[in-house]
A and B are shown apart, each in its own frame.
Chain A
Amino acid sequence: MSEFNLKTKEVRDYMLNGDHHLGLRRLLDCAMDTGQRNFYVNVLNLLTQYNDNSLAISQAKETFDLLDKMDNLKISSGDKSGQVLLNAKDIQKQYAHGNFKMSPVSFELKYNEVIGLVGENGNGKTTLLRMLCKDLKIDNGQIKYKVEDNCHSDYELRTKLIYIPQRVPKWFGSLMDNLNFTLSMHGIKGEENVLRAELIIARLGLRPYKHLNWNRISSGYRTRFELAKALLRQPEIMLLDEPLSNLDIISQQTILQDLKHMSGSLQHPFGIILSSQQLYEVEKISDMVIFLKNGAPQYQGRQNEVQSEGMEIIYEMETDTNREILQQAFNSTGLKSIQYNGGVYVLHFESGTSSQSVFKAIAQNDIQVRYIRNISQSSRRFFIN
Chain B
Amino acid sequence: MLNKINRYLLLNYPQIWNTRLVPMLLTALILHVVYFMMGYGSIYNISFFHSPYEYVNGRIHLEAQHALFGLILFIIIVIWLFHYLRNNPFKSYYPVSKLYLVKEFGLILIIFLSLVSIFHTFQYGRLVKMRHLSANIDDKKEADAINTGLAFLPHVIMDYEKSFSCEEEEIFNKKIQQYEENNQCGGVYPNRLFEIDMQIYKRDYKFSYYCRTKVENGTLSNKDINAIVKRWINNHQIDSIEMAIQKVCKIADQYKINHNIQAKKCAEYCFADTINYSPMYIYSDYDGLSESGASEELYNMINSSYYMGFDKLGYANTSVNEIRNQSFWNVTNLFISIYIAIGLSLVLLLFRLLRFKPWIVGILGIGVVVICGAILSISIDSAEEMYYIYVIFTLLCGIAALMMISKSQSKLVSAVFLIWFVTFAGALIPATFMNIYYQTAANWACDGNKYILYSPEHPIHSWINDNWNTINAINSGFILCYVLFMLIPLSYKWQANASE
Contact = CB atoms under 8 A, between A and B. Distances in A.
Contact of B14 (A155, A161, A185): A185
A189 to B, nearest CB: 5
B493 A154 contact: yes
Contacts of A155: 93, 492-493, 495-496
B291 interface: no
A181 B500 contact: no
Interface stretch (A31-39, A108-116, A170-178, A303-311): A170-178
Nearest to B17: A181
Contacts of B500: 96, 137
B202 interface: no
Interface in A162-210: 162, 171-173, 177-178, 180-182, 184-186, 189-190, 193-194
Contact of B10 (A136, A137, A153, A181): A181
Interface in A101-160: 131, 134-138, 153-159
B293 interface: no
A156 B95 contact: yes
Contacts of A193: 11
B86 A186 contact: no
Interface in B160-207: none
B499 A181 contact: no
B10 A184 contact: yes
Interface string B1-39: 000000000111110011000000000000000000000
B488 to A, nearest CB: 11
A153 B493 contact: yes
Contacts of B495: 155, 158
Contacts of A194: 11
A186 B94 CA distance: 7
Given A159-B95, A182-B94, A135 B14 contact: no
B79 interface: no
Contact of A159 (B11, B93, B493, B499): B93
Contacts of A184: 10-14, 17
Given A181-B10, A182-B94, A173 B496 contact: no
Nearest to A173: B86
B11 A189 contact: yes
B498 interface: yes
A376 to B, nearest CB: 39
A104 B124 CA distance: 70
B187 to A, nearest CB: 67
Contact of B12 (A96, A158, A190): A190
Contacts of B13: 184
Interface residues of B, number: 24
Contacts, number: 70
Interface in B62-110: 83, 86-87, 89, 93-96
A181 B492 contact: no
Contacts of B492: 153, 155
Contact of B86 (A134, A162, A172, A189): A172
B496 A134 contact: yes
B12 A189 contact: yes
Interface in B246-268: none
Nearest to B18: A181
Interface in A62-101: 96
Contact of B89 (A134, A135, A185): A185
Contact of A137 (B18, B83, B86, B498): B498
Nearest to B89: A185
B497 interface: yes
A96 B410 CA distance: 12
B202 to A, nearest CB: 82
B14 A137 contact: no
A37 to B, nearest CB: 14
Contacts of A162: 93
Interface string A212-246: 00000000000000000000010000000000000
Contacts of A182: 94
Contacts of B498: 131, 134-138
B408 interface: yes
B493 A171 contact: no
A171 B83 CA distance: 11
A158 B496 contact: yes
A136 B493 CA distance: 15
A337 B26 CA distance: 77
Contacts of A134: 496, 498
Interface in A363-382: none
Given A155-B93, A158-B93, A136 B11 contact: no
| Listed residue (B10, B89, B94, B499) with the most chain A CB atoms within 10 angstroms of its CB | B10
Nearest to A177: B10
Contacts of B496: 134, 153-155, 157-158
A253 B309 CA distance: 91
Nearest to A159: B95
A315 B499 CA distance: 43
A180 B6 CA distance: 12
Nearest to B95: A159
Contacts of A186: 94-95
A307 B96 CA distance: 46
A91 to B, nearest CB: 12
| Listed residue (B12, B497, B498) with the most chain A CB atoms within 10 angstroms of its CB | B498
A190 B12 CA distance: 6
Given A135-B498, A135-B499, A153-B492, A159 B10 contact: no
A134 B411 CA distance: 13
Contacts of A178: 87
A228 to B, nearest CB: 14
Contacts of B499: 135-137
Nearest to A162: B93
A233 B89 CA distance: 12
Contacts of A156: 95
B91 to A, nearest CB: 10
Contacts of A171: 86-87
Contacts of B86: 171-173
A155 B491 CA distance: 10
Nearest to A197: B11
A193 B408 CA distance: 36
Contacts of B87: 171-172, 178, 181
A172 B495 CA distance: 23
Contacts of B95: 156, 159, 185-186
A173 B85 CA distance: 12
Nearest to A95: B500
Interface string B367-394: 0000000000000000000000000000
Contact of B96 (A173, A185, A189): A185
Nearest to B409: A137
Contacts of A136: 498-499
Given A171-B86, A190-B11, A185 B94 contact: yes
B487 to A, nearest CB: 15
A161 B498 CA distance: 13
| Listed residue (A131, A134, A161) with the most chain B CB atoms within 10 angstroms of its CB | A134
Contact of B94 (A138, A153, A159, A161): A159
A178 B88 CA distance: 11
Interface of B: 10-14, 17-18, 83, 86-87, 89, 93-96, 408, 492-493, 495-500
11 contacts: A134-B498, A138-B498, A153-B493, A155-B93, A162-B93, A180-B10, A185-B95, A186-B95, A189-B12, A190-B11, A233-B94
Rank and list the top 9 A-B pairs by shortest CB-CB distance, nearest first. A154-B496, A172-B86, A184-B14, A155-B496, A137-B498, A159-B95, A155-B492, A185-B94, A158-B93
Given A159-B93, A185-B95, A189-B12, 15 more contacts: A96-B500, A135-B499, A137-B408, A137-B498, A137-B500, A153-B493, A158-B93, A158-B496, A184-B17, A185-B94, A186-B94, A190-B11, A190-B12, A193-B11, A194-B11
